[in-house]
Structure 1
């Protein structure tokens, strides 16, 4: 339960911070995070540790 509350607090903080940034900065940050997640998934799949 504490983990859920912490996750919601962090999510609220990030959404609040993104609301004060220009949309272009938010989109660029989202694209960078998305590319990192794709690279991570490809690396994990390549090494055979995919569930």
Structure 2
């Protein structure tokens, strides 16, 4: 519960900061974050190593 309160507090601070900057700055920051998340997701998706206990769908079970 305390974590949720902290997360909502941080979200409020971030949204408050975004409300005071010009729209183009917010758009550029949003695009930068989206690009960073897309690169992270692609790197995780296509990484060569697999975690222990990860389902191997090609073999129909655990690795």
| TM-score, structure 1 as length reference | 0.91
Mapping of residues 38-49 of structure 1, within 5 Å: 38-47=38-47, 49=50
Unaligned runs of 5+ in 2: 55-63
Which structure has the bigger radius of gyration? 2
Q: Identify, as 1 or 2, the structure richer in strand.
A: 2
Question: Paired residues, what number?
Answer: 50
Runs of 4 or more, structure 1, over 6 Å off, are none
Match of 1:22 in 2: 22
Unaligned runs of 5+ in 1: none
Q: Distance in 1 between matches of 2:29 and 2:22?
A: 11
| TM-score, structure 2 as length reference | 0.74
Q: Identify, as 1 or 2, the structure richer in helix.
A: 1
Q: Distance in 2 between matches of 1:16 and 1:4?
A: 18
